[in-house]
Chain A
Amino acid sequence: MRWLGWIALAASLAAAAVASGIHEQSVRSRLLRADPDLVASDPQLVAYAMDMGALTYSGACSGCHGPALTGDRRSGVPDLTDSEWLYGTGRLSEIERIVLYGIRSGYSKGWNLASMPAFARAKPYASYHVDPLKPGEVDDVTTFVLSLQNAASPSDAVERGKTVFLKNGLCFDCHGADARGDPAIGAPDLTDAVWLYGNGSAESIHAAIAHGMAGSCPGNIDSLSFAEIRAVALYVHSKRSGGRAHDP
């Protein structure tokens, strides 16, 4: 009757596996059902999700954002470890939304409200009519944006650039009259020292105004599970500047 012992052992192992599976399923369900902005305050969910998040990040995100999440300014890939959020304010639900649907990704639910026009081209913007700027105006706006960084003393070029910024350049429409940007449409703050493209030099600012830009991020709704999507959002959320996994 020794075989009965083996069967009992196998049944015990199977029961343990099933119990573990049910528990795992239960935590997974709780992770998915929780209000995303409150997930980070639940240590059990954080513990469950962080490993999965790191693994998912490594496979789906690190190719562009880099293994240290610091991005690549040559390609306009944002640093995820600083305190600056281009889209939204860094809430977990906002990060999750980007992981799900991306940015200019082809998914209509992704972020795709505006792009930086190329003001030195005959047709600066594809979606609606924007007049090109003159070379002198591009130079002046460059000087004005630089002055926001360096608190330079007012000059004619700065004043002219400010006028273009607030009038025919339509820059204010996205970046705001105070140039502090708008996270609702992904318009960066031009007054801080964080640069998405380049290094904040006159050349890189001039190039951005002249050539425009429109970075993108793929949506993952068809390639990752919902648990992986929430887990990677939680992982990224925990890596932001001053952020901890348990912060809301």
Chain B
Amino acid sequence: MTPDAALSSSAMQRALDPASTSTLRAMVLCAVGAIVGLSIAGYGLFTAAGTSTRTVPPESVAMVNQRPILRSDFIAQTESELGKTFAEATRDERLKVLDEMVREELLVQRSLELDFAETDQDSRNALVTAVTQQITVGIVTSEPDEQQLMNFYETHKEQFSSEGRMQVVDLVLAGENMEVGRAAANALRSGTSVEDVMAGFGLTQPVRHDEDYYFAVKYRLGDVLFAQVEHLSAGAVNEPVRLGDAIHIVQVVSNTRPVPLAYPIARAQVATDFKMFEHERSLNATLTFLRGRSTILIADDYAADYKP
């Protein structure tokens, strides 16, 4: 027997030996385990979000300092710039847009290095707007369920009504003679035409208006005068009111008062108002949270009066 043959025979005997088999199995299983473990670790390492990589993920068209430029953004930018579909864009046109986006990303990253959020007012405004929107994104875009809307409708019923409409004739008497004003108002009440009253008592009507919503009539007449006429019916005349250097006499031509709307009719408005309400609540809750975790120091000369 040659030395090689003897060695081979010896190895065969060791392999067939139950004790040796156990050792070999252990070694093989250990190796398999190591390979599997390393494979899983490697896969995890090279595919985890944020991992530095030299490849471009399939959803991106480029990576700039590990920041992706999404294909979707690239397509939208290309179509927006070129005014045609992405499929119609030539390769040169696409490459030009891609380079512009790379340049934009480089400049944005530079702006972060320069901390423009601290020094540039436009950047600060944009950040405030973006964060405010982000805070309330869930509320703005989610659909409240029917029960939530009905509860909101029940607890805020007064704000869901049709718009009040009104047409008025606002007559003005120059000076302060309230007796003349009262006589003119009585004449109107007794059915004398507006034209005759104006001619007879020296009144003027600076502007004629058609029927308008309550808010517009209120804006024109002012709070005091509007409060006087808001509840008057068509044909009624207010008690003359002195405002500034003139007396105002208002005759109501028509008045359609706001009518509470039933839930099915008001539903769209209820949904809008509910979201606005929740929007404010969410924003305030976030600000309370941010204040709670922040250290805010107010200078002595303002500290006593400062209230969030």
Task: Name A's B-contacting residues (CB within 8 A).
Answer: 1, 3-4, 7, 10-11, 14, 28-33, 35-38, 63-64, 74-77, 91, 93, 96-97, 100, 102, 104-109, 120-122, 132, 134-136, 197, 203, 207, 210-211, 213-214, 216-219, 226-227
In the complex, the chain A residue whose C-beta lies closest to that of B36 is: A14
Q: What is the bound-complex CA distance between A11 and B31, given in angstroms?
A: 12
The minimal Cβ–Cβ distance linking A201 to chain B, given in whole angstroms, is 11
**Pick from B86, B134, B216, B268: contact of A213, CB under 8 Å:** B268
A207 touches B137 (CB 8 A): no
B268 touches A211 (CB 8 A): yes
B59 touches A218 (CB 8 A): no
Q: What is the bound-complex CA distance between A93 and B143, given in angstroms?
A: 25
In the complex, the chain A residue whose C-beta lies closest to that of B47 is: A25
A74 touches B136 (CB 8 A): no
Q: Can you offer 13 A-B residue contacts whose CB atoms are under 8 A? A: A28-B58, A33-B71, A36-B72, A37-B85, A37-B86, A76-B268, A106-B130, A106-B141, A121-B215, A134-B216, A214-B272, A226-B70, A227-B59
Q: What is the bound-complex CA distance between A37 and B133, given in angstroms?
A: 31
Majority-rule SS of B interface residues: helix
Chain B residues positioned under 8 Å from A218 (CB to CB):
137-138, 141-142
B72 touches A93 (CB 8 A): yes
The interface-forming segment of B21-29, B150-158, B228-236 is B21-29
**Pick from A3, A93, A216: contact of B25, CB under 8 Å:** A3
**B82 in the interface, Cβ–Cβ < 8 Å?**
no
The 9 A-B residue pairs with the shortest CB-CB distance in the complex, in nearest-first order: A106-B133, A226-B59, A106-B137, A218-B141, A32-B58, A29-B58, A122-B215, A135-B165, A216-B141
Instruction: Return the CB mask of B117-137 against A: 1 if under 8 Å, else 0.
Output: 000000000000010011011
Q: What is the bound-complex CA distance between A63 and B269, given in angstroms?
A: 20
A136 touches B210 (CB 8 A): yes
Mark out the residues of chain B between 162 and 203 whose CB falls within 8 Å of any chain A CB in the assembled complex: 163, 165
Chain A residues positioned under 8 Å from B85 (CB to CB):
37, 91, 93
**B287 in the interface, Cβ–Cβ < 8 Å?**
no
In the complex, the chain B residue whose C-beta lies closest to that of A65 is: B143
A210 touches B163 (CB 8 A): yes
A134 touches B210 (CB 8 A): yes
**Pick from A11, A75, A136: contact of B143, CB under 8 Å:** A75
A11 touches B216 (CB 8 A): no
Q: What is the bound-complex CA distance between A164 and B267, given in angstroms?
A: 27
B58 touches A33 (CB 8 A): yes
**B32 in the interface, Cβ–Cβ < 8 Å?**
yes
**B213 in the interface, Cβ–Cβ < 8 Å?**
yes
The minimal Cβ–Cβ distance linking A185 to chain B, given in whole angstroms, is 13
In the complex, the chain B residue whose C-beta lies closest to that of A33 is: B58
Chain A residues positioned under 8 Å from B289 (CB to CB):
none
Chain A residues positioned under 8 Å from B269 (CB to CB):
207, 211
**B304 in the interface, Cβ–Cβ < 8 Å?**
no
Chain A residues positioned under 8 Å from B267 (CB to CB):
74
Task: Name B's A-contacting residues (CB within 8 A).
Answer: 21, 25, 28-29, 32, 36, 57-59, 70-73, 75-76, 79, 85-87, 130, 133-134, 136-138, 140-143, 163, 165, 210-213, 215-216, 219, 265, 267-269, 271-272
The minimal Cβ–Cβ distance linking B243 to chain A, given in whole angstroms, is 21
In the complex, the chain B residue whose C-beta lies closest to that of A29 is: B58
**Pick from B70, B73, B141, B213: contact of A134, CB under 8 Å:** B213
Chain A residues positioned under 8 Å from B216 (CB to CB):
122, 132, 134
A100 touches B72 (CB 8 A): yes
B211 touches A135 (CB 8 A): yes
In the complex, the chain B residue whose C-beta lies closest to that of A64 is: B143
B32 touches A35 (CB 8 A): no
Chain A residues positioned under 8 Å from B28 (CB to CB):
4, 7
Q: What is the bound-complex CA distance between A74 and B144, given in angstroms?
A: 12
A97 touches B76 (CB 8 A): yes
Chain A residues positioned under 8 Å from B70 (CB to CB):
100, 226
Q: Knowing that A35-B75, A105-B140, A106-B140 are A-B contacts, what are 5 other residue pairs whose CB atoms are under 8 Å apart, sorted by A's residue number? A: A38-B87, A91-B85, A100-B72, A132-B216, A226-B58
A211 touches B272 (CB 8 A): yes
Q: What is the bound-complex CA distance between A14 and B43, given in angstroms?
A: 15
Q: What is the bound-complex CA distance between A144 and B19, given in angstroms?
A: 96
Q: What is the bound-complex CA distance between A227 and B58, given in angstroms?
A: 9
In the complex, the chain B residue whose C-beta lies closest to that of A1 is: B21
The minimal Cβ–Cβ distance linking A81 to chain B, given in whole angstroms, is 19
A217 touches B141 (CB 8 A): yes
The minimal Cβ–Cβ distance linking B32 to chain A, given in whole angstroms, is 7
Q: What is the bound-complex CA distance between A142 and B211, given in angstroms?
A: 17
Q: What is the bound-complex CA distance between A97 and B75, given in angstroms?
A: 10
A132 touches B213 (CB 8 A): yes
